[in-house]
Amino acid sequence: MTIDADRKQTLTVSTIRNVNVVNIMQSILRDKTKTRSELAKENHISVMTVKHIVDDLIGGGILVEKVCGGSDVGRKPKALEINEKFGNIVCINLTSVDEISFLIYDIYEAPEAEQTLEFDPKCTYRENLLRAVGLIKEKLAALHTVTVGIAVFVPSAYYENVDLVNYDLIADFKDLHIKQLFAEAFGIGNILVLHDVVPAAWSEYESMDSEADSQFYFYCGHGVGGFFIHRGTAVMGEELMAGEVGKMLLLTDTAGKKYTTFEDMISVSVLNRKLRQAGIDKKFKEVIRAYEEQVEEVKRIVDEALDVIVRVLYNLLWVYNPGMLVVDSCYSDYSRLIMTRFQEFVESLENEAIPIHVQVRQALYDEYHMMRGCFHMVRDAWVDEIYN
């Protein structure tokens, strides 16, 4: 945690202590064990400051101090650890209309359990959700550790002040207070409901190995969305909809003045429908293979989508002007195609009077990267709870 001078935060004994508590906890979480002297050196604070904070955390049952193994001669050093009763963090994926998946991590990000529950078509969405909650509680009971937080990611914007999710993609989210439901089911307060692109974008941003200080994250799967991060700050917009590029309207018929959304022209679901209408019944992974093998009708349909994506992404460069553009999809071969086509397009315009430059790469992480992003956001929130 760093103090941003631009925010003109008033430095007090209390705020400095809070920063030190967070840094000490993060050091131990990162390396699992730390001595007091290591904490002082790593965080550039005095041993006495470490003592006051650590003694409070031990007294509060957060940390434990154990004698390190080693030589029988001389004084044995003591190492600090998180109390083993803490715990676990649950990450729950509510982005599908057909299934709910979840993954349970220990406090150090090691996966402990995961499962996908397919919906029972005879049940309502809420009933299926409660089935999943029951299954998660069974898994947690077998772990015998304290749950310190829950992350729930959803496919659209979440409005915390009313505890509701935009229900444009999943109609059953209407009037469903998700945070309240999970708080009552699990009896904890540290619950984050997150728009799915947010943790994914943060995971990619934190992994950047470049000098770029801004990133636009573009996702094209069954849904289409985006998220912009500038110098460590998320650009959310007035209604938390900034980056929702899938909702952009594009002209499809100049004469008839007909419009459709960007998502309805390029998503995996739309391409699958167009392919079926053309008599091509293939899984999407096979579609990409057929495209690369130059199968004519497949190439025509996919190229139409790629051409639209390239134009929109290029226009977005002039709106956001990011240093890095990350392309992601539930099908890595599709995101690779998009990335390659876009790179070629940008390079073809490098001799323009006012060229625009951007680093373009495919998303680094596998299908769990949203869960990883959720995990870290929830764990950080738990650490914040400790010093509060």
**Domain that includes residue 142, residue range:** 86-197+369-387
Statement to judge: residues 191 and 238 lie in one domain: no
Q: Tell whether 202 is covered by a domain.
A: no
Tokens encoding 179: 């945070």
Statement to judge: residues 147 and 235 lie in one domain: no
Statement to judge: residues 172 and 267 lie in one domain: no
Q: What is the largest CA-CA distance in the chain?
A: 89
Q: Tell whether 346 is covered by a domain.
A: yes
Whether pTM > 0.85 for this model: the answer is no
CA gap 337, 200 in Å, rounded: 20
CA gap 385, 59 in Å, rounded: 16
Statement to judge: residues 70 and 152 lie in one domain: no
Statement to judge: residues 100 and 180 lie in one domain: yes
Are the C-beta atoms of 80 and 35 separated by less than 8 Å?
A: yes
Q: What is the pLDDT of residue 174?
A: 93
Round to the nearest angstrom and report the end-to-end CA distance of the chain: 15
Comparing CA positions, the residue from 303, 288, 306, 346 lying closest to residue 322 is 346
Q: Please compute the mean of the pLDDT values over residues 22-42 and round it to a whole number.
A: 91
Statement to judge: residues 105 and 62 lie in one domain: no
The kind and range of the H/E element at 223 are: none
pLDDT band per the 50, 70, 90 thresholds, residue 12: low
Q: Counting Cβ atoms within 10 Å, is residue 330 exposed (0-12), middle (13-18) or buried (19+)?
A: middle
Statement to judge: residues 309 and 229 lie in one domain: yes
pLDDT band per the 50, 70, 90 thresholds, residue 257: confident
Statement to judge: residues 99 and 70 lie in one domain: no
Strand, helix or coil at 123?
Answer: coil
Statement to judge: residues 246 and 358 lie in one domain: yes
Statement to judge: residues 58 and 158 lie in one domain: no
Q: What is the pLDDT of residue 334?
A: 95
Per-residue pLDDT at 3 exceeds 80: no
pLDDT band per the 50, 70, 90 thresholds, residue 99: confident
> How many distinct structural domains can be found in the chain?
3
Q: Tell whether 54 is covered by a domain.
A: yes
Statement to judge: residues 51 and 98 lie in one domain: no
Statement to judge: residues 71 and 139 lie in one domain: no
Picking from 82, 111, 142, the residue at the C-terminal end of a domain is 82
Tokens encoding 208: 């950047």
Residues near 149 by beta carbon (within 8 Å), at least 6 away in sequence: 89, 90, 188, 190, 191, 192, 378, 379, 381, 382
